[in-house]
């Protein structure tokens, strides 16, 4: 996206260059092969800009109307799939203006009055990012809803909770599912925050110092569905924080998906047998007929490196860039596009896999009390009866060692053996079932059944609010990009 370029070969524009660009340099610097994804944003931004130029008397109203009509014809070309571009166009802005010139002639040259490629591309990218984040937010919502549904369907199922990959304490399977719902709800918050920071219009900043024409930036922002305009022209041109914010939010989504996939891969193995992944989301082996591989989960896990890599690459691209515009900045788009594409591909397939997954309730319940996972409850019982917790910890630790040596479980111990261990146990036994242990943790955020049931309802309320936000902003996007958009309409 070369600064200040317009129609034809970019380096010849304006008469500054006497030589044609070297073919390899032309191909190397061109961005048209990837920024063409912003063609609708570019056309719509130009429509808003030329409307304002006409209203403000900066160009004649008749020319503004001619240019707008021509831009909608270019839009029709895009929709019909007949809009053609090449490396010679250099970027999508030049391609649109070249086609516009073919359609309306010399009047096209007035479109670029009062703007630069720099504020134009920043505006296009922000508009594209806003829409992309809304689509991703819908995917996050749907995956979180599938997890909440699994929680509701299995709200009474105990399972072992883990620390250090060792059985620790029993929890409800629903509680475990809701942990991922919480992660995704935070992801949705990050998406909303990234969206809000992208919802600032830089158009009007010019190349970097503002423009000399009496433009009406607020009306253009309203026309394009932006909630605010940038406060500093230099920052507006140089800022790629909003791209990094988006990439960070996308990376966190993939990080959480990867953790979930790791557990599903283990849980579906013969060693665990906690869940069954649907055949529709599994693959077989080329040589072993019995195999059922969790390939969807594995590939989704593997995609995380790609998304995080795009975040890190963009960090390094921005690092050390002086103000304001530098052509390095065109490298942000491929990273952003690829990260969005990856996450958009991962989320629906994960949602389908979760929605169709079967839970082996009996196996989970059986495993819930394995490896003495009720030991903490025994220590807590002593502590509640006045025994210092460190002493209680040591007493129960000796009990566990004794049971291991005798190949016994807590349930195997007689009343006499309990009483011999500590006088408190002669009067009261600790929980000996998973659900008894689980329901003892009846505090906010705990795994007790009533708390988890309430948490499911609260999660669904949060998801409803998320959906309302998505629907509201999608409606703004739809109105803004409607051919019949009235322009300068408030959000």
Contact by Cβ (8 Å): 491, 223: no
Domains identified in the chain and CATH numbers: 10-113 (1.10.275.10), 118-367+452-480 (1.20.200.10), 375-430 (1.10.40.30)
Helix (H), strand (E) at residue 412: none
Query: HEC string of 423-456?
Result: HHHHHCCCCCCHHHHHHCCCCCCCCCHHHHHHHH
Contact 398, 372 (CB under 8 A): no
- 485 catalytic? Reply is no
Report residue 20's pLDDT band, with 50, 70 and 90 as the boundaries.
confident
Q: Using CA atoms, how far apart are residues 174 and 449, in angstroms rounded to an integer?
A: 9
CB atoms within 10 A of CB 135: 15
Q: What is the β-pairing status of strands 358-359 and 275-276? A: antiparallel
The residues with which 200 forms a beta bridge, in sequence order, are: 228
Q: Cβ neighbours of residue 15 under 8 Å, at least 6 residues apart?
A: none
Which pLDDT belongs to residue 34? 78
Q: What share of the chain is helix, strand, coil (3-state, %, to 5)?
A: 65, 5, 30
Q: Is the pLDDT of residue 442 over 60?
A: yes
Cβ atoms within 10 Å, residue 452: 25
Q: Are 382 and 395 in contact (CB under 8 A)?
A: yes
Residues 68-93, mean pLDDT to the nearest whole number: 92
Distance CA 35, CA 33 (A): 6
pTM of the predicted protein model: 0.92
Q: Could you tell me the two tokens for 153?
A: 């369907």
Least confident segment among 73-77, 446-450, 481-485: 481-485
Asked if 317 contacts 331 with a C-beta cutoff of 8 angstroms, the reply is yes
How does pLDDT run across 374-413, given as a tens digit for each residue?
Answer: 999 999 999 999 999 999 999 999 999 999 999 999 999 9
- For residue 487, the model assigns a pLDDT of 63
> pLDDT tens across 346-365, in order?
999 999 999 999 999 999 99
pLDDT in tens, 27-80: 776 787 778 899 999 999 999 999 999 999 999 999 999 999 999 999 999 999
Catalytic residue among 285, 327, 402, 489: 285
Burial group, residue 430, by CB count within 10 angstroms (0-12, 13-18, 19+): buried
Q: What is the pLDDT of residue 15?
A: 64
pLDDT at position 430 is 94
The SS3 of residue 109 is helix
The verdict on whether 164 is a catalytic residue reads: yes
């Amino acid at each position: 996206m070369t600064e200040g370029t317009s129609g034809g070969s970019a380096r010849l524009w304006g008469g500054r260059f006497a030589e044609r660009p070297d073919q390899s340099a032309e191909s190397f610097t061109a961005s048209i092969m990837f920024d063409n994804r912003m063609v609708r944003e570019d056309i719509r931004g130009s429509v808003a800009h030329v409307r304002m130029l006409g209203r403000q008397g900066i160009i004649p109203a008749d020319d503004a109307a001619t240019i707008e009509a021509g831009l909608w014809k270019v839009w029709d070309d895009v929709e019909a799939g007949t809009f053609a571009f090449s490396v010679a166009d250099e970027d999508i802005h030049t391609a649109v203006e070249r086609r516009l010139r073919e359609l309306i002639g010399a009047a096209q040259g007035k479109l670029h009055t009062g703007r630069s490629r720099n504020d134009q591309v920043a505006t296009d990218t922000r508009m594209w990012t806003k829409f992309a984040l809304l689509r991703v937010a819908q995917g996050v919502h749907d995956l979180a809803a599938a997890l909440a549904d699994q929680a509701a369907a299995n709200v009474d199922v105990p399972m072992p909770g883990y620390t250090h990959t060792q059985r620790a304490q029993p929890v409800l399977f629903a509680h475990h599912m809701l942990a991922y719902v919480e992660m995704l709800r935070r992801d949705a918050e990050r998406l909303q925050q990234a969206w809000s920071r992208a919802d600032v219009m830089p158009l009007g900043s010019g190349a970097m110092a503002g423009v000399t024409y009496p433009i009406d930036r607020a009306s253009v922002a309203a026309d394009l569905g932006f909630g605010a305009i940038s406060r500093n022209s230099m920052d507006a041109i140089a800022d790629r924080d909003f791209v990094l914010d988006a990439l960070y939010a996308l990376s966190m989504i993939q990080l959480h998906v990867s953790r979930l996939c790791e557990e599903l891969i283990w849980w579906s193995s013969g060693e665990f047998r906690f869940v069954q992944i649907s055949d529709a989301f599994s693959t077989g082996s080329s040589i072993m007929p019995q195999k059922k591989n969790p390939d969807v989960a594995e590939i989704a896990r593997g995609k995380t490196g790609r998304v995080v890599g795009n975040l890190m690459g963009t960090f390094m691209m921005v690092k050390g860039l002086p103000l304001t515009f530098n052509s390095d900045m065109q490298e942000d788009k491929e990273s952003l596009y690829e990260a969005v594409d990856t996450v958009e591909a991962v989320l629906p397939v994960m949602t389908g896999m979760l929605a169709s997954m079967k839970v082996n309730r009996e196996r989970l319940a059986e495993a819930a009390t394995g490896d003495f996972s009720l030991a903490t409850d025994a220590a807590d019982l002593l502590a509640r009866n006045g025994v210092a917790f460190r002493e209680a910890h040591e007493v129960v630790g000796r009990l566990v060692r004794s049971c291991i040596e005798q190949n016994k479980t807590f349930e195997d111990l007689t009343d006499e053996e309990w009483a011999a261990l500590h006088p408190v146990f002669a009067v009261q036994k600790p929980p000996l079932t998973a659900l008894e242990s689980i329901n003892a943790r009846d505090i906010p955020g705990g795994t007790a059944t009533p708390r988890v049931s309430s948490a499911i309802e609260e999660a669904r309320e949060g998801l409803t609010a998320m959906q309302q936000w998505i629907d509201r902003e999608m409606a703004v996007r739809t109105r803004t990009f409607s051919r019949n958009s009235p322009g300068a309409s408030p959000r």
